[in-house]
Structure formats: structure tokens, C-alpha cells
């Protein structure tokens, strides 16, 4: 007959393991899964990545279920333009989004003739490919790929539909303590351009900075349990890839 202490000790072990996991997830690093194509070509559907929670400090959204344990941010660090950031959408303060930080507090952001302007200066983009295909939802679309240079010298790749469907926008003036985010898949991203669903993101909604991909698989080819398809479905070349 098993000793009652055996069950008690196992329950304690599970409890301690749970507490440690919550601490690591809340304060250090958290895994995320990419379910949409809004950040292609940088992030693909099926990428699994690690986000560092300490990069920008902590708010209630750093913890599971966003408990109101304190107000504002503590140990706060300001994000840099060009960072890829996970945040809670202002619309419901529950949904996690991942986008690239484009506009800082006080910036003026606008699209004119499909070109991005920050503080009245056009962001230079150099076309590096005119024959790429990426996903937009479940559709495979033809795009132009550009290398974009932000004012702080940060370079990254973006893609635009060949007909540049997003031509012009209103002028976005970023409020104090807020940030403006865009998807790298510019014509297939719900981001800060859509004020009713995302809009300007308050600093307290920032969760962390995307750092590197630790696993990636293409579910359209087969599930992870279909081991006979691993040579095609698992993207081994993306393992431990640093996110730019």
C-alpha cells in the first residue's frame, strides 16, 4: 500500500514546477505560435518563437490572464523602432498580436502613393525581388519584396502586392505613451492603420520582444505527427533563427 506521504510529495513537486513555470513565463521568456501570414516574409505561419518578457519591463499583461496586481509598467525599457513586438490589442486587451514597431510617441506616420512616411520623410525601400510568392490568408499571392530602411538605421524586408492595394492613408499622429505597428506583409495585415481593431498601442500593452524561432513547420503539408512527411513539413532551416 502506498504511503500517503508519496501523494503529498508528488502534489508538492507538481505545485513547485507550476510556480517555476509561471515565473519563467511571466518574467523571463515565453513561447508563441504564429497563426497568420501578416508578418511574412519575416515570420511564417507555423513558426514557433521565443519572446523575452524582460525587454520592455513588466505590466499586468506580462502575467497569465492579466491580473490587476499593479498599475503601469515597472522596470520599464523603451522599445526601439523596428523591433518585432508581441502586444495585447487595445480593442479587447486579451488578444496577442505580433507586429513591427514603426511609430514612436509623437511621430507622424502616413502612406502616400503606397510609400511610407515618418515625420514627413519618405522611408527608403529598395526592391530586392519582383517574383516572390507569399501567403495572404490561404491565398498564395505574387508580391514585390523590398528592403526597408528606418530612420534609426534598422533594415528589414517587407512585401507589397504588385498592384499596391494600400495606396494612401490618413495622417497618424502617435499619442504620448503609445506606439504604431505595421505588419511586414503590408497589404495583408491588420495593424495600427485600422484604428477600430488595433490602432495606437499603449506602452502597458507591450508583452515582449521576439528574439528567435526555435521550431517551424508547414501544416499545409502535414501535421507534426505525420513523421513520414517531416522532410517536407518541418522547416529545419528556420530552427534557432534570430528574428530581425
- pLDDT for residue 136 is more than 60: yes
Q: Higher model confidence: residue 7 or residue 118?
A: 118
* Distance (Å, whole) CA 150 – CA 124: 8
Average pLDDT over residues 167-196: 95
Average pLDDT over residues 195-209: 96
Label residue 2 by pLDDT band (50, 70, 90).
very low
* Distance (Å, whole) CA 156 – CA 116: 14
* Distance (Å, whole) CA 30 – CA 211: 10
Average pLDDT over residues 42-50: 96
pTM over 0.85: yes
**Cell 519618405 belongs to which residue?**
122
Q: Which fold has domain 31-64+76-242?
A: Umud Fragment, subunit A (2.10.109)
8 Å CB contact between 103 and 174: yes
DSSP code, position 55: T
Least confident of 51-55, 66-70, 123-127: 66-70
Nearest CA to 167 out of 110, 113, 109, 118 is that of 113
Catalytic positions: 38, 99
Which pLDDT score, from 0 to 100, does residue 6 have? 63
Quote the mean pLDDT of the chain.
92
- pLDDT for residue 90 is more than 50: yes
Which pLDDT score, from 0 to 100, does residue 231 have? 80
Label residue 147 by pLDDT band (50, 70, 90).
very high
Which pLDDT score, from 0 to 100, does residue 164 have? 78
Q: What is the DSSP annotation of 56-97?
A: T-B-GGGSTT---SSSS-BS-----TT-EEEEE-TTTS--EE
8 Å CB contact between 59 and 201: no
Amino acid at each position: 500500500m502506498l504511503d500517503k506521504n508519496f501523494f503529498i510529495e508528488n502534489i508538492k513537486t507538481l505545485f513547485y514546477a507550476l510556480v517555476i513555470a509561471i515565473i519563467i513565463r511571466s518574467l523571463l521568456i515565453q513561447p508563441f505560435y504564429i497563426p497568420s501570414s501578416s508578418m511574412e516574409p519575416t515570420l511564417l505561419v507555423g513558426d514557433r518563437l521565443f519572446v523575452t518578457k524582460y525587454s520592455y519591463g513588466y505590466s499586468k499583461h506580462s502575467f497569465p490572464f492579466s491580473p490587476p496586481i499593479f498599475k503601469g509598467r515597472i522596470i520599464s525599457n523603451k522599445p526601439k523602432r523596428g523591433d518585432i513586438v508581441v502586444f495585447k490589442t487595445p480593442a479587447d486587451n486579451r488578444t496577442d498580436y505580433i507586429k513591427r514597431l514603426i511609430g514612436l510617441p509623437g511621430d507622424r506616420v502616413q502612406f502616400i502613393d503606397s510609400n511610407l512616411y515618418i515625420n514627413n520623410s519618405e522611408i527608403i525601400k529598395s526592391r530586392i525581388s519582383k517574383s516572390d510568392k507569399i501567403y495572404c490568408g490561404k491565398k498564395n499571392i505574387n508580391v514585390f519584396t523590398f528592403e526597408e530602411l528606418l530612420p534609426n538605421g534598422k533594415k528589414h524586408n517587407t512585401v507589397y502586392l504588385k498592384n499596391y492595394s494600400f495606396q494612401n492613408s490618413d495622417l497618424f499622429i502617435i499619442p504620448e505613451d503609445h506606439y504604431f505597428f505595421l505588419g511586414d506583409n503590408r497589404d495583408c495585415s491588420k495593424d495600427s492603420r485600422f484604428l477600430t481593431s488595433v490602432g495606437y498601442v499603449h506602452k502597458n500593452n507591450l508583452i515582449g520582444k521576439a528574439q528567435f524561432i526555435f521550431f517551424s513547420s508547414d501544416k499545409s503539408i502535414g501535421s507534426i505527427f505525420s513523421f513520414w512527411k517531416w522532410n517536407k513539413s518541418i522547416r529545419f532551416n528556420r530552427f534557432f533563427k534570430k528574428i530581425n
